[in-house]
Amino acid sequence: MSKYCIINNKKNIIGNNISKSKKKTKRKFLVNFKKKKIYIKFLNKYIKINISCSGIKTINKKGINFFYKKYIYN
């Protein structure tokens, strides 16, 4: 199973390295994943999730309660 962010569905993608002579070789562009411990008030407990850094910014903007009910709980 490939890694992906459950908040904004970011995944690793495949692209090309391009050298000075324009020769192309395959490579992976990896997502910046972090293991984050997040406190949920209405459950009075912490949960641990692997999440991308852009997902952390989205949680800070909209709040964890919105995402917990929509993505993590189901």
Domain extent, residue 49, equals 13-72
Contacts 24+ apart (CB under 8 A), 58-65: 58/7, 58/8, 59/7, 64/38, 64/39, 64/40, 65/40, 65/41
Decide if 8 is inside a domain: no
- In terms of pTM, does the model score above 0.85? no
Tell me whether residue 48 is in a domain: yes
- Average predicted confidence (pLDDT) for the chain: 87
- The verdict on residue 3 lying in a domain is no
CATH number at residue 43: 2.30.170.40
In a domain, 26, yes or no: yes
Q: What is the number of domains present in the chain? A: 1
Answer whether residue 74 shows pLDDT above 60. Answer: no
pLDDT above 80 (res 2)? no
Domain annotation covers residue 7 = no
